[in-house]
Amino acid sequence: MTKQVQNTTHKTSEIMKRFFLLFALALVTLTSCENVQDNQTSVQATVDNVAFNALYATSDLNSDGSIDIQTSSDSRVITIHLSNTNADRFDLGGNSGNYATFTDVHGNVYSTEGSGSGRVEITDRCVPCGTINGRFDFIAVWPGIDTVEVSNGMFVDINVGTPSAEVDNQNVFTAQIDTASFNPVVVNTIDTGNFLLIEGQKGGMSLILRLPISAEQGDYNITAGGFNATLVEGLITQDADNGSLTILNHDTAQKTLKGIFEFKVGSTEITQGIFEVKY
């Protein structure tokens, strides 16, 4: 049967209120917001016996209290819509108001709504951090064509809103992407215990810097020694090919960091990068 491309029926907001990220080295159990978050992925699952591992996830908080969690791996997309973030368990499918979708590499969308099924469990909450961790499994249907089974799913540190969101206004993050100025609407900083993640986000575009939390004043190769930089455009993420990052000041007592950076991703040049953040 010839496959037909089906557009997704669930539109997520163009402006993501939070874009929280997780880099790590080894899997450990997270028990509090003080934890060293050493997961290799932010979202992982098995899709029809094929691994799905993603470093990045977006959390789109809606005005009605619901949340859309979206992530991608190898051009495949998983979206989970929950009617709220207060319950510990959510049944997917039917008319529950909670659903999950899977979009394959051809753009075909499978959904739990209707005849699909599944569940999401919140396994940990960090109220001061404004994040949740959880597990999920679901069977999604491409009506009249096919089904897909997503199992052993887990997500880590998905943002559901922090009491101190206004702190973002104190952070500075600007750059030049080729010839265009990049002035983020949102600046996020995350202390994972081992690394600091700094992200400037505007619409569907983000620049992300990673550096060791112990890094001191000095000049560094942005692609070595625990340093990294990433350009995110929609669901496409690209790591820096080369570049540099200079730490001008790092006060570990006050948890403030100031620096400059530049890097290149393919033919795209990111220059005149400046950040001054509190974490």
Q: What is the per-residue pLDDT for 160?
A: 79
Question: Is the whole-model pTM more than 0.85?
Answer: no
> Cα-atom radius of gyration of the chain, to the nearest Å?
19
pLDDT of 163 over the 50 cut: no
42-101, pLDDT tens digit by residue?
789 999 999 998 877 778 888 888 899 988 888 889 999 999 888 899 999 887 889 999
For 216-276, the DSSP string reads: -SEEEETTSTT-EEEEEETTEEEE-SEEEEEEEEEETTTTEEEEEEEEEETTEEEEEEEEE
User: Do the Cβ atoms of 112 and 101 come closer than 8 Å?
Assistant: yes
User: Do the Cβ atoms of 101 and 136 come closer than 8 Å?
Assistant: no
For residue 149, give the 3-state DSSP assignment.
strand
Measured between alpha carbons, how far is 272 from 274 in angstroms, rounded to an integer? 6
Q: What is the per-residue pLDDT for 78?
A: 94
